Each structure stands twice: as C-alpha cells, then as structure tokens.
Structure 1
Amino acid sequence: MFKDNPLLAQLKQQIRETIPTVEGVVKATDKNFGFLQTDNKKSYFISPPFMKQLVHGDRISAVVRESNGKEAAEPEELIEAALDTFIARVKFVDSRTKVIVDHPLINQALNAKVIKDSGFSIKEGDWVKARLIKHALKEKHFQAEIFEYVAENDDSFARWKATTAKHQLAWDQPEYEAELSLLDPSAERRDISNELFFTIDGESTKDMDDAVSIVAKDEGWSLKVAIADPSAYLAEGSALEAVAAKRAFTLYLPARTVPMMPSKLANEKCSLLAGQERPALVCEMTITGSGELLDDARFYLATVKSGHRLNYTQVSNFLEQNNEEFSQDQALQLALRELEKMSQQRHQWRTENTSVFGDQSDYDFVLDNKGRVIDIVCQARRAANRMVEEAMIAANVSGGRYLDKHLGFGVFACHSGFKPEKVDSLIELLAKFDITADKDQLYDLEYFCQLRRTILATNNKRLDQLVKRHFNFGIYSEQCLPHFGLGEAKYATWTSPIRKYSDLLNHRLIKCALAGEQPSSPLTEQLTEHLSEYRKRHKFAEREMANFLYCEYFAEQDATTCLDAEITNVNRGGLNVRLLASGAPAFIPKTKLAAKDQELTIESELGYIATGDLQYNLGDTVSVRVVEVKKLQQTIIAALCE
C-alpha cells in the first residue's frame, strides 16, 4: 500500500532536506575507517562499511548524522573520483582478476580485466597500468581495465619501472642507432686543447659535461669553464631533440640514472673524456682576490681537451689531507690548489653579499644484483664539491648577464623570494624572534639578502627553517628576473646541456648571440609549464623511490641501534626527522614523546613541541631508534632513545 505513495516520497524528501550535507575530500587511514575533510578543514568520521565504497582522494558530498554526540559522514554523491589511470599489481582471488593500486592509502583489491587484444598476459604480482571504469559509490562496485604491461613480478627493477610509469617518465635511455656527426664542421672554434683543463665528477659519472681551467693573476684568477656542446650535433627540430624536449631532464633515481640524451651522445661524443678533443662552449671569467665575479665574462666556441679525469673523493683527499696524490704533475697540483682558494674566496664573497644555503649531504644506495639495498653511503659535501659548485654558479651568473645584455631574453632561472600571501605571517614570525622586517622592501633583492644574512647570524636553525616555509617556488622565465634564493639579479643555467633541456636552449641562444644573429625566444608558455611539470615529476619519483628503498633497508636493521636525526618538521601528530647517516625520513608520533600523564605543548607554527622541561625544535639533533617500518605506507616510525 506504500509503494509509489507520493505522500511518503514527499515526507522522505522533507526529512532529507533537514539533514545537513557537506562536501569534501576523502582521507583514508591505514585502518579500515577514514575521514571526510571539508574545504574549511573540518573533518567528519567515515565508518569502515562506507569506506569500502570510496578511495582515498575522492571528492564527494555526504550527509552528516549525529550519534551519541559524534558526527559522522555518510557518502551520498561522487563529485570527482581520485582514481583515473594508475599503477597496480595483479592479484588473483578465486580465479578472478583483481588489482592492488600502488598507493599507501588504497588497500582494497579492485575487480579488473585486461583489455581485448592487449597482446600481453599477466601473472600474480605483475605490475600493470590500469584505468578505473566503474566506481562503487556510483555503480555499487569498482571495476578497472588493464591496458598496459609494466614489469614482471620477479623483475629486480620492477619497482623502478613502476615508479617511472606512475609518473609518466622514461625508464631507459632514448634509442638512437644512427651515426652522429658535427652539424657544421667548419664552424670557427678557438683551439685551446693545449691548455690545462680537467674534469671533477663522481667516480661512476660517464656524461662529463664540464671541465675547468684556472690561472692565478694579479689580485685574482682567470677561470675558464668549458661545457660540452651537444647542440653541435643536435639539429634544432630533429627527432632526437624532440625526445630531449619531452624528457626535459636526466632522471636521477636511487641506483638508476635515466639520461635525457642517448649514451652515444651524452657519454661518448660530448663527454669531456680525458685525452679526447671535444667541441665546447667556453666562458672565461675574472674573479678578484676578494671573490667578486667581474662583469667582463667572454664566451666563445672552442676545441678543448681535458687532461685529467678526476673524482670528488681523490681531489678532496689531496686538498684536505695534503697527500701525495698527483705528485707527478706539479701543474695539476697548482691548478687544484688555486681552484680551492678561488672557491673559498668566492663563497666568502657570496656569504657577505648575496644569499647562500648550507651544504646538504648526498646519499648513495648500494644494491646487489637483485635490486636489494645492502648499504647506504653518505657522501658529505667536501672541498672538491664546493670547488665545482662555485665555478658553475659563477658561469651561470655570467650566462644570465650575457643573455640579458646581448639578447634581452633567455631561459632564466628565477626565484621571487617570499610568497606574497605569506608576507604578513612572515613579519609576525620574525617579530617573535626580535627581528623587524619592512613589508614594502621584502620584494627587493638586496633587502632580501640582508634579511637572510641577519637570520643566519642568529645561528637559530628553527627560525631559519620556519622562514623557508614562506619561500616561493623557482620558475623559468624568458625575462631576466632575479633569483632571490641565490641573491643574484641575473641567473641562467647553461652548464648542463646534456642533462637539462633548458640549458641546451641557452647554449643555442648564446651561440646565436656570438654569431650576431637575432633568434626568437624559445620559451613559450607551454614549454615553461612542461619544464615545471617534469621537474615536479622527477622530484616525486626520486622521493618515492628513495622512500621505498629506505623502508626495505630499515626493515632488516637492528631496531635497538640509536641513530642521530635532525628534526625537519613539527606538526600536531609529532615530529618528522631525517636520519643523518642515511638521509632516511622518519616520523616520531607524539605518543612516543611523552608519557600518557604528561602534557604536550605543540606549536607547529613556531616549530617546537614541549613537554615538562624538554623542548624539541626544528633543526635540533636528537637520538632515535627505528621501532616500526610500514612498507605499504612507505613510512619509518621512530622513537627517542632513552
């Protein structure tokens, strides 16, 4: 008698209209429940039965019901699905094909099928690419379609292949079988192959794209930086260039480098191998005895021949330990010592006049032949690293000045300092540390640098880290805008054309200026977005791959070992830290910072957590031990050592 009763339907609608609704994004947990977070940051509990219809990241509308004084969200409508195309692993349940999404907070197995005429077969544990074609909130169940094969379950580098596929990046070097020859063999190049140039790189580096030469002069040095010239082989608009443009950068994954250019070009034709003549673009600079880079740099095409293939470790050992390395070559010894003196003076000048940041160690993963981590080696920044860094920064400053002067445009690396929307909170923050800042001057390069030096002079790591939260992102620009992060008015990188497409473009522009040509700007809005997008993809892929390897490594380590760690972030849940010996990120929950009867004061905006007489600050070094490794979430849980 109640079926299709219009009065009942009207009553239901009236009741429905009295129940509040909200819209937000689903936040899953590593349990079975989740939360709906609204745009105004309010959270509503989602019970396990409802979470079976949802995926972390879904945007939904929901009704809010109250029970025993607690509010909970009941999903009503899917607004935007979090999943579209994704990487997953194959799982068979009662002969039915399912996939497990490669995401730390998506753990349900989704029904799946391979597209018709795919040309591949799948096995348990294989890695695939799939797309979601049905969502449980709309059609009562999830359904995915497998359309691409990624890697076999037992492939030692399956995780690397899956990570690059996930971020739509290449896994291997570009294929290129044709012979490479100079586009213009008759181009006029200065022959400086008899001058003492040398390369300093990592021990395993093959694409050596920079060599330096230095001579002491009255009151300073003459520094020459020779950069490999792939544009001498790479025709503008060619298929090979298109590949380089698409890749944008060489990808540096842990234990795996994916080059932007084929090895035939990067590691052979262009690599500045010792004893081999190579075409190069050279920048000749004058640096004063106080470390100032004069505005008199000269660029020219040249033929160079590196006399020595050196690595960071042997050069640093020679300079720091005064050993007998290179004892048979007095000229090389003298050149290395002069380069060290120049870099020290140059760094000192930049410290006093621009903006500098502290050294960060690099970390190398050592793998066995099955892709398992057997060691993590900390590569501290040493004398040789700083020497090369200072030489390249000087060359890139000179490149920015040259392009701005001769063309008025280029591919400039720019950084605008602080985010405008965060300036007010920055001023409030600085005031709490007794530093007064002028809001109107914060967009002035010189004022920004002076403020940075003032902050560094306090020797307060917490303040330094808090201020960095207000920094803007770096961008590429055809206009010569300042690079506040480096404290330079003009900065255009051109020293890695084998590894960065933007540097290759600047090579071409500098060469056009040398030839007296008037090229058009290559940096379109579309290309600018492409470069920025791929820089982000590389960063995410590198971080994701490193976190996976860190979890694999620490899952096998002794949990009683105490390790030094630096506090990198403070939030309401606890402390993020970085293990100094390995670089691994870890998290210390607030429950492990104090006993249940102790009160915690959490001031994330001021960068500290306090309990009793103890205070843990951003930048502090603490002693911790690993207590749990959550491989699925790629998270390492740590606790303070007693």
Structure 2
Amino acid sequence: MFHNHPLLSKLKKKLHSKIPRIEGTIKSTRKGFGFLEINSHTSYFVPPQEMKLVMHGDRVIAQLKIENNREVVYPEKLIEPFLSNFIGKIQIIQENFYVKPDYPYYKELISCTVSCILPKDVKTGDWVLAVLTNHKLRGNFKFCAKLIKFIAKSNDPLVPWLATLEKHQLEISEPNSKVQNIVFNNDFPRTDCTNLNFITIDHHSTKDIDDALFIERDLSGNFVLTVAISDPTSYVDLGSKLDKIALNRAFTHYLPGFNVPMLPRILSENKCSLKINKRRPAIACKIFFNCDGTILHQKTNFFLTWVMSKSQLSYKSVSDWLENKGEWFPESDLVANQLLLLNELCHVRIQWRKKHALLFNERPEYVFKLSNSFEILDICSESKRIANKIVEESMIAANFCAAKFLSDKLGFGIYNIHSGFDFINAKRIVKLLSKYNISFDVNEIMTLNGFCKLKRLLDSVPNEYLRNRIQRFLSFGGIDNVPGPHFALGFPFYATWTSPIRKYGDMINHRLLKVIITGEGEALIPNNKVLMKINNRRRCMKMAERDVENWLYVIFLKSKNHSNKVFSAKIIDICRSGIKVKLLENGANVFLPSTLLHSDKSEILCNREKGIVYIMGKEYYVISSIIKVTLIDIKLDARSIIGKPVI
C-alpha cells in the first residue's frame, strides 16, 4: 500500500541524512575486519563484510552506527583510493590476465585488461605497472585494473630499482637527447682560471663531478677559498626542451648502485663534469675567511670562469693521507699544500659553526656493496671522514654566501628553509624541558637564536632520550622563493647552488647569479608551481630511496642464516603495536611486535607519545636505547623484517 509512496520515500531520505558520517582512512587486519582511522587517537570498527568493499589505505566517508553498544562504521563513499597507479605481478590463469598488487595489505588477484605491449614470452610473476579502473565502493561488481606498462621479467636483477621507480612515477633512465642538439652558449666573457691548482674530491666511482676547490692565504693571513661549480646552464637555455625535462625531473635520483640523472649523461658525466685536465665552464665564488673562520662578506666575489681540475681525488685517499693511514700520498707538493690548507680551514669552520651556528649530529652512513650483476655483496656502516667534512664545509660556506648575495641583490631565489618549531610544539617542548629543570620560553625557542641556544644545550647534555623526544617536534624543511631562516643549520638564510648538475633548484640559482654577475637578462622570481614541483619530486625521491633500501635489506638478510645471530639495535620508534629498531651493523629496520615483547598483552603498554614501552607499569623499553635482538621472520613480499628482543 505504501510501496514507493512519496511521503515514505521522503521519510527514508530524512532518516538517512540524519545518520552521522565521518571521513577517515581504512586500516585492514589479518583477521578480516578493519578500522576507519580518523586520527592517531580515534578509530572505528569496520565489519568483515564491509571490508570486502574497500582496500587498506582508501580514504572514505562512512556511516557511523551503534550496534550492540558498539560504534560501527559502514563505508559509503570513496574519496581517494589508495591504489590508483600501482605496481604488481602478472598472473596468467587460463589465458586470462590478472595482477597481484605489490601491496602487503591486499592479497587478492585483480582482473585486468592489457593496454600496453607485453613481451611474447610474458609469464606469471613478471612485473607491470597498472591502474585501478573499477572500485567496489563506486558501485562496481569487482575490482578491475588495466595494465599500462611492462616493467621487468621476474628474474631481472634490477626489479627492486625499476619497480620502485615506476611505483613513485619516477624516470628509470637518462633523458633522451641528441648530442648534436646540445650546444654551448658562449655569450658571456669568463675569467680564465685554468692555471690555478683546482682539485676535486669525491667518491672514487663518481662521474658527475660538479665542484672543484682552490685555496690560498692572502698577505693578511686570511684563508681565500675559491669554489668553482660546473655551469650546465651554459648548455641548457631557460624554457628549452632540455630545461623542461630537467624541471620535470628536478633531481638526479641516487639509489644504491644505480642512478638516474636529471640531465643527459653527455652533460652530467662529460661536458659539465669537472674531470681532471678538462677545460670546463663554471661559476666561481671567491670567499675570504679570517683566522677564526668568519666569512668576510664584503670581499666575497662571484664570477664566471674557465677551470681545469689538476687532480681528481677520492674521499678515502685524502682521508687516509690526512689521518696518516694507508699508502696513498699526493702526486705533488702543490696538491699536498692544497689538502693541508683545506684541512686547516675545515677545522676552523667547524669550530666557527659550533659557536655561531649549528652542526648536524653525525650518523653513520650505510653503504650497499653490489656486484656488476647487482648482487648484494655486503652492507657496511661508514662514518663521515675528514675529506667529506672538507668538501661539506666548503659547500656550506659557498651556499651561505650565495644566499646573502641573492638576498642583497635580488631579494629572491631558491632558498632552503627550516622553521624549527611551530607554536603548539614549542609549548610542548617547554613543558617537557621543565621536567628536566631546563627553563626556556616558548617565544624564545621559536627564534633562530633561541633555537640555537637550545640545540647547543641539548648537545652538551648526555640525554639522548630527551634529544630524540625534542627532535620529533621539529617541522619539516622545504624550499621557498624568498629568504628565510634555516634553523637546523643555525643560519638566517641558506641557498644551494653547488649541485646544478643534479638539482634543478640549483640551476635556477645559477641563472639568477648569472644575471647579477653579467648585468644582462631578466631575473625572474621562481613561481609557486616550480616550488611545488621541486618539493613533490624530493618527497617522491626520498620514498623511492627508502623503498629500494628496504627491498635490498630483505633480499640480503634472507640470503643469510641469521637464526642464531644476536644484533645490537637502536630503538628508533614506538607505536601501539610494537617497537621499530635499526640494526647498528647494517642499518636495517626491524619490527618487534608487542606480542613478542611480553606474553600477557594486558600487562604491556606501548606509549608512542612518550617513546616508552611499559610492562606491568614499569619502563622497559625506551626510545634511543640500544638493545639486543634476533631475527625471526623475513617477509620478502611485504619487505618487512620481524624480530624479538633478547632478554
């Protein structure tokens, strides 16, 4: 009688509209049910049947209902699928194509169509790039995908690199550019400095060498350092096809044993690389330092030049010689004198920055040793040595000079920005410090001077737990087109220009420096679209680097028998479900589930905010502590390593 009655339909719509709706992210579990996570503190139960409509990571709007005195949500509308473009493995079943996403939270096969050229011998297990075309929450009967690119055969040793780069929509090879189209622009006069004893210091295997150093003392005893930086903008015109390619890439992607250049290798590793005895165009900065390391900015000079490296040295050889190790020694007294002066200036500048700015806390670098066939031979921990510090201090000084030069002359450029703490986190820090009888004002630590004062105090206190807690309140760094402080360095401004072969932002600053030096051309402020592009590409590059390393760690550790080996590990994070540690031997991240920390889950509390695991009310594991662990499971598909503490 009332079927399809207008009043009844209106009442149903009214009741439906009154059901509360919330937006969140789907989190799945191994038991079939899931949760809708609103924030780090709030989540709601999703029944197993409803979880079949969504995937882990989907952003959805859901209805919130009360059932059996429990809040339950029903996904209703898809805001953003977690899987859009994704990588996976082909599965061929009775001549039908399916793809298994390379995603540990979704293990079902997805039916797919093919929109790309596949090898004739394509097999189950080969890697592809796919795009999700149908989603169940959008009313589709099933999830469907379309294969859009073949990546690699299942047995290709480059799978970890190629698949990861495709996953993050990053290029897998150098730009395609014909040699005859790369022409040197010789419009500007250059000072000939090819007679000076410039040297380069880099890794032994480095081919894209973009900086060279020459040092001397003036009559007043001041250090005079000339930093020469390769000038790729003399080959790449603004707005050209190659320039647009460089902007789109934004960076050279450096992965273990594998790099994808921003510029064609004919430029990055040949015409613009400051190789020994090769005449190269460069932009140089001549910097004067007094005896305590203070930069005499009134004397700083930027100019266009021709340089020729007289010696191509490696970090290891230089460090060994300066540390009186090994058998290598400089080929001439001129080179030896350069190294001794650079070493002296380096120590002076480190002390100056320690007093007037800030130093980064040193951490070991983990290096993957690969064979020519990309087999992982070893993963080693390497500390920063004196030769690395010499180059680092030289580049930091040159970048600081460029930041001041651009600020004084133009008031804009590409600046590296780091703002320290925001107001909310500053209040939390002041409250935390008070528990250790350390008194600071909120407004004080939000200033550059106050931030530096706090950092120096923390570095002098033997409390790594406190340093770690405060580190977590730091804002993220980024770039801007106007000057701003870089709190982490302790500088009022900072602008990099010393890596133009591998960073597009540095190419922009090169062009601005050229306009100032020559007085020709128009200096254009970088627009927000360019800034966003560079920031986004940096984020993708960091994620790709992390993913490749995690993949290689799993391959490496799975190939070894570590069942009885005990590792020293540092606690780097604590979450609700357990502890994340880093193996000191090789840098691998290992997860220790809370179920393996203590047998009774009702007696254990993992407090992420405090960075402490409590067992029966007592502090048991504290972030930044060193503990002993063993490995119990290495999951290749999930790229995860599971361990447990040695008690």
TM value normalised by structure 1? 0.92
Residues 412 and 525 in structure 2, CA contact (< 8 A), matched pair in contact too: no
Distance in 1 of aligned mates of 2:79 and 2:511: 47
Alignment partners' CA distance in 2, 1:34 and 1:176: 50
Cα 1:246–1:19 change in 2 (3 A) is closer
Matched AA of 1:82: F
**Counterparts in 2 of 1:416-427, with a 5 A limit?**
416-427=419-430
Q: Which of 592, 611, 615 is the matching residue for 1:607?
A: 611
Indicate whether 1:146 and 2:147 are aligned: yes
Q: Which moved more, 1:458-467 or 1:46-55?
A: 46-55
* SS of structure 2 residue aligned to 1:179: helix
User: Which residue of 2 is the match for residue 566 of structure 1?
Assistant: 570
Query: Helix, strand or coil for the counterpart of 1:50?
Result: helix
Deviation at 1:55, TM superposition (A): 0.8
1:352: which partner in 2? Answer: 355
Specify the alignment match of 1:548 in structure 2.
551
* 8 A contact 2:423–2:442 mirrored in 1: no
Give the 5 Å matches for 1:113-262: 113-115=113-115, 122-137=122-137, 138-179=139-180, 183-185=184-186, 187-217=188-218, 218-262=220-264
Mapped contact 2:598–2:615 kept (Cα < 8 A): yes
Contact 2:201 2:387 in 1 (8 A): yes
**Which amino acid counterpart does residue 349 of structure 2 have in structure 1?**
R
Q: Does the 8 Å contact 1:180/1:233 carry over to 2?
A: no
- In the other structure, the counterpart of 2:535 is 532
- Give the distance between the partners of 1:376 and 1:79, measured in 2 at CA: 42
Letter aligned with residue 97 of structure 1: F
Over 3 Å counting, the alpha-carbon distance change for 1:528 and 1:204 in structure 2 is same
Q: 2-side partners of 1:230 and 1:14: how far apart?
A: 65
Q: Distance in 1 between matches of 2:518 and 2:20?
A: 70
CA distance in 1: counterparts of 2:40 and 2:154, whole angstroms = 43
Rounded Cα–Cα distance in structure 2 between residues aligned with 1:7 and 1:370:
73
Q: Give the direction of change, closer, same or farther, for the CA distance of 1:200–1:94 in structure 2 (3 Å limit).
A: same
Q: After superposition, where does 1:382-393 map in structure 2 within 5 Å?
A: 382-393=385-396
* Match of residue 337 from structure 2: 334
Q: 1:134 to 1:323 in 2, by over 3 A?
A: closer
**Structure 1 residue 61 corresponds to structure 2 residue 65:** no
Q: 1: CA distance between counterparts of 2:182 and 2:190?
A: 16
* Contact 1:326/1:332, CA 8 A, preserved across alignment: no
Q: 1:31 to 1:284 in 2, by over 3 A?
A: farther
Aligned to 2:641: 636
Q: CA deviation at 1:12?
A: 8.3
Instruction: Give the alignment of 1:571-590 within 5 angstroms.
Output: 571-590=575-594
Query: Residues 347 and 71 (structure 1 numbering): CA distance in 2 closer, same or farther, change over 3 Å?
Result: same
Given that residues 465 and 619 in structure 1 are in contact (C-alpha distance below 8 angstroms), is that contact kept between their aligned partners in structure 2?
yes
Q: Which amino acid aligns with 1:227?
A: I
Q: CA deviation at 1:86?
A: 2.2
User: Residue type of the partner of 1:563?
Assistant: F
Q: Which residue of 2 aligns with 1:473?
A: 476
1:429–1:212 Cα change, 3 Å: same
Q: Distance in 2 between matches of 1:426 and 1:49?
A: 44
**CA 1:147–1:288: 2 relative to 1, 3 Å:** same
Name stretches of at least 5 consecutive residues in structure 2 with no aligned partner. none
Change in CA separation of 1:412 and 1:63 when aligned onto 2, cut-off 3 Å: closer
Contact 1:407 1:518 in 2 (8 A): no
- Superposed, 1:227-306 pairs within 5 Å as 227-295=229-297, 296-306=299-309
Confirm or deny: 8 A CA contact 1:85 1:129 kept in the other structure: yes
Distance 1:62 1:152 in 2: 44
**CA distance in 2: counterparts of 1:142 and 1:256, whole angstroms:** 35
| Alpha-carbon distance in structure 1 between the residues aligned to 2:502 and 2:495 | 15
CA 1:293 to 1:11, structure 2 compared with 1: closer, same or farther past 3 Å? closer
Deviation per CA, 1:59-86: give whole Å up to 9, x if none.
Answer: 141454534x655444444444333222
- CA-to-aligned-CA distance 1:41-98 (integer Å, 9 cap, x gap): 432333444322211122141454534x655444444444333222222112344321
- Summarize deviations over 1:365-384 as a string: whole Å, max 9, x none: 23345544231122221111
User: Is residue 87–residue 129 contact of structure 2 (8 Å, CA) maintained in 1?
Assistant: yes
Q: Which residue of 2 aligns with 1:514?
A: 517
User: 2:330 and 2:501 mapped to 1: Cα distance?
Assistant: 33
Task: Tell me, yes or no, if the aligned pair for 1:128 and 1:146 is still in contact at 8 Å.
Answer: yes
Partner amino acid, structure 1, of 2:277:
G
Superposed CA offset, 1:456-493 (max 9, x none): 12132122222122222222222111111111112110
- 2:384 corresponds, among 371, 381, 385, to 381
Aligned residue for 1:207, secondary structure, equals: coil
Correspondence for 1:406 = 409
2:36, 2:44 within 8 Å by CA — same for their partners in 1? yes
5+ residue gaps, structure 1: none
1:20-31 correspondence to structure 2 within 5 Å: 22-31=22-31
Comparing 438-447 with 364-373, greater Cα deviation is found at 364-373
CA distance in 2, matches of 1:597, 1:39: 23
1:541-561 deviation per Cα after TM superposition (whole angstroms, max 9, x unaligned)? 111111111111112221221
Paired amino acid for 2:204: E
Paired residue secondary structure (2:270) = helix
Q: Please name the residue that 1:108 is paired with.
A: 108
2:439 match: 436
> What amino acid does structure 1 have at the position aligned with 2:264?
P
Identity of aligned residues (%): 35
What does residue 321 of structure 2 align with?
Answer: 318
Structure 1 CA distance for aligned equivalents of residues 366 and 29 of structure 2: 31
Please tell me whether the aligned partners of residues 65 and 74 of structure 1 are also in contact (alpha carbons under 8 angstroms).
Answer: no
Q: Is the 8 A contact 2:422 2:446 kept in 1?
A: no
Given the alignment of the two structures, is residue 35 of structure 1 paired with residue 35 of structure 2, yes or no?
yes
Shift of 1:261: 0.6
Deviation at 1:248, TM superposition (A): 0.3
CA distance in 1, matches of 2:203, 2:186: 31
Q: Which moved more, 1:31-40 or 1:94-103?
A: 31-40
Amino acid at match of 1:640: P
Q: Are 2:624 and 1:619 equivalent residues in the alignment? A: yes
Per-residue deviation, 1:130: 2.2
2:37–2:43 CA contact under 8 A, matched in 1? yes
Alignment of 1:85-96 (within 5 A): 85-96=85-96
Structure 1 range deviating more: 488-497 or 219-228: 219-228
- Are the equivalent residues in 1 in contact too, given 2:595–2:601 (CA < 8 A)? no
SS of 1:212's equivalent? strand
Q: Deviations over 1:334-385 (max 9, x none)?
A: 2212212211121111111112211222222233455442311222211111
Q: Which residue of 2 aligns with 1:500?
A: 503
Question: TM-score, normalised on structure 2?
Answer: 0.92
Work out whether 1:456 is the aligned partner of 2:449: no
Kindly state the Cα deviation for residue 17 of structure 1 after the two structures are TM-superposed.
8.3
Hey, what's the Cα distance between the residues in 2 that align with 1:147 and 1:327?
Answer: 54
> Matches of 1:80 and 1:480 in 2, distance apart?
36
Q: SS at 2:338's partner residue?
A: helix
- Check 1:637–1:62 CA distance in 2 against 1; reply closer, same or farther (3 A cut): same
